[in-house]
Amino acid sequence: MRRKWFSSLQSKYMLIILVALVLFQLSYLLVVIVFTGISNQQENSDIPKYVDVEQSWHGSLRIVSDQPEEIDLVFSTWKKKYPEAAMFWVNGQGQLMDTLGIERELPEQWTSTYTISYMKESYGNDPYTVVAFISGEVDKGFAVIELPRYVFQPPAIDMIDRFGIWMLIGVTIVVVWFIVISYLFFRQIRKRLLRLQRAMSTRNNDELPVPITVKKSDEIGQLEHAFNRMVGELSESRRRELDEERIRRELIANLSHDIRTPLTKLRANAYTVSKFELPAEGSSALTALDSSVRHIDELVDNLLAYTLLSSEQYRYEPQELHMHRFLREHVAAWYAVFEQEGFEIEMKLEPLDQASWQVDPIWMKRIIDNLLQNVLRHAKEGRYVAIETEAFSGFDVIRIVDRGAGMDGNTAQKGAGIGLSIVDMMVEGMGLTWTSYHRDRQFVVELRHPYGLSTSS
């Protein structure tokens, strides 16, 4: 359970937040401890006050004379108490007598004007300056003490002034660490999600996604496992689909062969019976039987061709085919069929921009046969069929024209759906296009050959 909990992305990020909070708390406790110690030390130490220093300085000089050794003793005493102090004294004649801790240059002779200017500049500035008359008398001169103002500050404030920048840097480091760790954490999540997205977009030879390597067992890892299971199910489904399709093709091919054998015998027997002298009613029934047998044979042939085309196993062998010659020779075989049904047949073959097309002759025969069979089924009442060719800008055209209701018309003959599906797949396979429309009470099926598909003319 513990291992599973630590493998969760949520638990990992909560751990990052917890560590950041602990670091913040430790930093806070450290600051509190330091300042508490300073405060305790502050309570036990004497922090000078401005008033006390001023009064003490005046008192120290009031009890001494203007003798150098006495003033030096006062300076030494204050220097021991305040090592940061700087002191000097001037006698009654304005001469600078002695200095202690003064780092700047002072004038040797002090005038009243300079003295007043010095006192004015020193007031309220740093260092804190106190001027006192020696022996409390103006004519004996004065002594000056200078103390940095931080001497009068509490140690805590001094600590902030001295180490505040380091405390700020420490807190900033903790915050930046948290931001960097969070960025790296989510950056890794993003990389894994993008990797999963790429795997979803990648396809194998069967146009199926490819499995992804699972490296971790967190939420994204579980998602990757689910994705791999889905890929496996799709692959298994694809395999079953291919097996079923193969079985279906084999079944249709076997059925087509098995059905054609008795159909051939039926047609042979019908032909034998037709040689005998039969009554009119029997002869009519025999003709209807022969027509039905032929129709069943066409349906079986179309079904087999459709199955082979769907599985891309129908052989396609394109070659140069002279279209006018092909149409004359192939349509000639249909003359007897159409004349038997009382059709008027016309051939209107105008010149084509590209006389030869790069197509499969067997496929073209199949297309023309299926379209002419469709005319026989749906346009018997019109008793008319025409085969036309014409050249346009960008493409050549072959038309089959009749005077029927079109492919969607209601007729007694059914089963044209597979034949037209075969036409559609073969036309597309050879790079042609086709369409159908009504024109002046005629129904037209048009095959179009775009320029660039032929290699000679």
Q: Give the other-Cβ count within 10 Å of 289's Cβ.
A: 16
Q: Give the other-Cβ count within 10 Å of 118's Cβ.
A: 16
Q: Which residues neighbour 244 within 8 Å (Cβ) at sequence distance 6 or greater?
A: none
Round to whole Å and give the CA distance between 22 and 403: 92
CATH entry 2.60.40 includes domain 219-307 = no
State residue 308's pLDDT score: 67
pLDDT digits 0-9 by tens, 184-211: 878 888 888 888 888 888 888 777 888 8
Residue type, position 286, single letter: L
Task: Give residue 51's Cα distance to chain centre.
Answer: 73
Locate 5 and state its tokens. 């909990």
Answer yes or no: are the C-beta atoms of 347 and 334 closer than 8 Å: no
Residue 399: φ, ψ to 5°: -120, 145
Positions of the chain with pLDDT lower than 50, given as ranges: 1-2, 42-44, 411-415, 453-457
Locate 381 and state its tokens. 């009442």
Q: Give the other-Cβ count within 10 Å of 41's Cβ.
A: 11
Largest CA distance in the chain: 173
Answer yes or no: are the C-beta atoms of 363 and 336 closer than 8 Å: no
Three-state DSSP class for residue 28: helix
State residue 399's pLDDT score: 94
CATH entry 3.40.50.12280 includes domain 318-450 = no
Q: Give the other-Cβ count within 10 Å of 316's Cβ.
A: 13
Locate 137 and state its tokens. 């008398």
Three-state DSSP class for residue 109: strand
Round to whole Å and give the CA distance between 420 and 456: 29
Domain boundaries, the chain: 2-45+155-194, 50-152, 219-307, 318-450
Q: Using DSSP bridges, classify how beta strands 128-133 and 142-147 pair: parallel, antiparallel or unpaired.
A: antiparallel
Nearest to 389 by CA among 433, 440, 335, 447: 447
Give this prediction's pTM: 0.44
